[in-house]
Chains A and B, each alone.
Chain A
Amino acid sequence: MLTTTLFLLGLGFGSAVMLAIASKVFYVWEDPKVAVVEETLLGANCGGCGYPGCSAAAAALVAGKAGANVCVAGGYEVALKIAAIMGQEVELKEPEIAYSSCRYNLVEADTRFIYSGVHDCRAAALYGGGPKECPIGCIGMGTCYRACPFGAISMSDYGLPVFDRKKCRSCGICVEVCPKDIIYLSSTTTRMTGDFRTDECTTPCQRACPSGINIPAYIRQISMGNYEEAIRIIKERCPLPLIVGRICPAPCEMDCRRTLVDQSVGINSLKRFVADYEMESGKRIYPFRAPENDKRVAVIGGGAQGLSAAYYLACLGHKPTIFESAGRLGGILRYVIPESRLPEKVVDWEIEGVLAAGAEAKTGKTIGKDFTINSLLRDGYGAVAFATGGIDSRQIMHGRGDVVQSIPGIYTLIDFLTVFSRQENFRTGGTVYIFGGGNSTLEAARICSGKGGKKITIIYPFKKQDMVSRGIKVDAAGREGIQFLFETVICGISGTGEELTGLSLIKEDCSVEEVAADTLIAATGRISDLIFVRPGNEDSRPDAWTTLASYAMNPDNRYDDIFNLNENGVFNDNLAVIRSIAKGRRMVRALHLFLNGKELEPQINQIKKWMKILNTKNIRGVNTNKRNIMQSNLTAASYCDPDVLFNSMEIGSGFSEGAATQEAGRCLDCGLVCYKKSAS
């Protein structure tokens, strides 16, 4: 008995002493904050932050490797609590809500087979990608619904996931589990600055729209009577719906799938209807306003492109200032398009809307005369964006003889030939580059050699044979001392103060070469879409500036050069207001990334114009239903008076509410291959 007691006592005591010593010897200091922070985190271990679980995130937070906003799932409230513990300030992250664009369930969409196996999308997708005909169609078996740790996904009655914007914590688990890769996180910013994706269900009209307005979505909202929501959707991609609704040539309507049955849906007239609704209500509707920051951007040009760029910059919280050389903002919209098509009060209302969004405007100021790129950058503008858009050459704007040079050392070919080269004391720099390949390019090269040019090089984007076959005497010019660079494009311009110093060229083997240059003559009608910024830390010259690769720059297309001959795979021009708006909107992507100190990268999975996208050429089961025609304001009297006809009245009167609802009901609410069939 005694032995037993003593033995057990001894053993217990021995163990206790040993453990006590061990806990001292092997003591590891742990920051008590880690435990406190971990308690604050949600504990869902969703991994949305990029760390393996909440405890790892807490450790990273305390170690200073992650910011207080690391927990995407917890959002602002959790970030505030953590910041209080850590003594930090919080930077608000815009919520990115999970989103799937598929709208047709397994009953209504075309299917290839009936699947009756394990009720899980991942299992169903193993059989040739699932039962749906459409490669990006939702299988609808709720894998995402079961995976969501926050209960933000519910399966609707028609078998497609519905994402609850309030509950979604942007953790990205549904994105990961979806075997069809059709769920992605989307924020208003990404929709404003991005383009349609290949893993998104897009319709022919959406893809035809140069600016990529989500057409079926806004028409659906109109048919349900949610006009404000419709405006919000339009304004994510087009800030001037009142103007576009009147003068857009509507390429979307040409591609409308309803043309396979009868006539296209009046897409643009519907846009005008909701835009008119907004103007009549007097209440301005904005899609999204980010918290303001103090990053200033100078937007050169107050036309459609400049207004669009300024609008989106303002919506993303930056402070844009529009510099317009004319007396009033609006460019072609105000000065060229007749009153009968676009009344001035409409233009005024839209411009007021852009200014009310947070843009500033300085009119009667011309770049090159009243200020320069360098002076703007010196004044604290983070970037200078050229949105000089559709008005060709400086001459049209200012008249002959009053042409100013907007970028140091750079001339458009037409300005050079007709104005600058004729000035008596005009001198080019020693090293001249000329971008182009026509006879007038050669002419300009010869003029340069008489005006101080020592080394003259012509840069041509295509092959030598292309130039020769157009009757241009390349070899003869070569004997005169003019050098040629074939299959080369310019991808960057840099300078110091008021002087051009260098060009970046993409050579035929896709390598990038920096060359010194004093003068650049570009055989383009306009200089547009250039973004000037101060270079990074590696350049120590005080007044250095350089161009930012614009949105269109894409490594897989060499010909997407800085003069934007190509954009998204099509020739770049300003033929329609919506194209200028699209260019302005796309510039903002590069600007926004740059101002936030992020890498400029092309958007992933972006749909390009040349891509073959699944489409359907046959429509069955849709009853004919003729298009509504907008009432005309014309009367017999107005026909007789050209003054009235062209100057004082607008011809179209817009849809009535009834006509708009009816027209919106004609929309087939297409998907990639799906469409709404008439009730039989």
Chain B
Amino acid sequence: MEYVVLVITAILIKNILLAEYLGNCPFIGTSKKMSTAIGMGMAVIFTIALAGALTWAIQKYALNPLNLGYLQTIVFILVIAALVQLVEFFLKKSVPPLYKALGIFLPLITTNCAVLGIAVLNIRRDYNFLEMLVFSIAGSTGFSLALILMTGIRERYEITDIPRPLQGTAISLITAGLMAMAFLGFSGVDTALKALQ
């Protein structure tokens, strides 16, 4: 039950895009076409799960014992960037179909704040390994969900009469705001779920 609450919280209530406002550049950038959005979403889930685990381990076994907590941000960025690069090499050689599907999105994620955000949140909330893994996957699933929903809406904009000054990014940001407000409706679900226990 604890994990169910964690998953629902991460996907719907504290959605990384719509409630935490992290990772907005790919949210606006790759939400023009459904196939791109799905590819991006999958790549994000894959990377965040890996990066979350690695950064968690580094925090627990290197930064904490050495008392270097203040280096967290810079170390995480370095580690994530190296990891993404490594994963790209690995996929290209060993899993070409997956590389074809995710390949072009991986470099996009290298310095994505959603990845760093979840890695940092994992530490701040003091999750154990399993909680960290569940939260990482659920958080990135929330990212993909929001991205795909947004793409569905933006594809419709293609054939819609939008006032000229609002065309493009402007209307997308307004839409993102409205979506965030809609997601606000989920707040309280976690409390209710906890109360059920």
Contacts and interface: CB of A to CB of B under 8 A. Distances in A.
Interface string A477-488: 000000000000
Contact of A28 (B93, B160, B161): B93
A127 to B, nearest CB: 14
Contacts of A123: 159
B68 A26 contact: no
A417 to B, nearest CB: 71
Contacts of B92: 26, 28
Contact of A122 (B66, B74, B86, B159): B159
B94 A118 contact: no
Nearest to A23: B89
Nearest to A118: B159
B75 A27 contact: no
A4 B68 contact: yes
The range of chain B's interface size is: 10 to 19
A144 to B, nearest CB: 14
Nearest to B156: A118
Interface in A522-541: none
Contacts of A11: 75, 78-79
A24 to B, nearest CB: 9
Contacts of A12: 78
Determine chain A's interface SS by DSSP, over half rule.
helix
Nearest to A121: B159
Interface in A331-368: none
A7 interface: yes
A27 B89 CA distance: 7
A4 B71 contact: yes
B107 to A, nearest CB: 14
By secondary structure, the B interface counts as helix
A15 B79 CA distance: 8
Interface in B71-94: 71, 74-75, 78-79, 82, 85-86, 89-90, 92-94
Interface residues of A, number: 20
Contact of A8 (B74, B82, B90): B74
Contact of B86 (A22, A28, A118, A120): A22
A23 B82 CA distance: 12
Interface string A1-35: 00110011001100100110011011110000000
Contacts of B159: 118, 120, 122-123
B98 interface: no
Nearest to B70: A4
Contact of B71 (A8, A18, A22): A8
B75 to A, nearest CB: 6
A119 interface: yes
Contacts of A26: 89-90, 92-94
Interface string B141-155: 000000000000000
Contacts of B90: 22, 26
* Max chain B Cβ within 10 angstroms of own Cβ: one of A26, A119, A120, A123: A26
Contacts of B189: none
B160 A118 contact: yes
Interface of A: 3-4, 7-8, 11-12, 15, 18-19, 22-23, 25-28, 118-120, 122-123
> Which are the 7 A-B pairs with shortest beta-carbon distances?
A26-B93, A15-B82, A26-B89, A120-B159, A22-B89, A118-B159, A28-B92
18 contacts: A3-B66, A3-B68, A4-B68, A7-B66, A7-B68, A8-B71, A8-B78, A15-B78, A18-B82, A19-B82, A19-B85, A19-B86, A19-B89, A23-B89, A26-B89, A26-B94, A118-B159, A118-B160
Given A8-B71, A22-B86, 8 more contacts: A8-B75, A19-B89, A22-B89, A26-B89, A26-B90, A26-B92, A28-B93, A119-B161
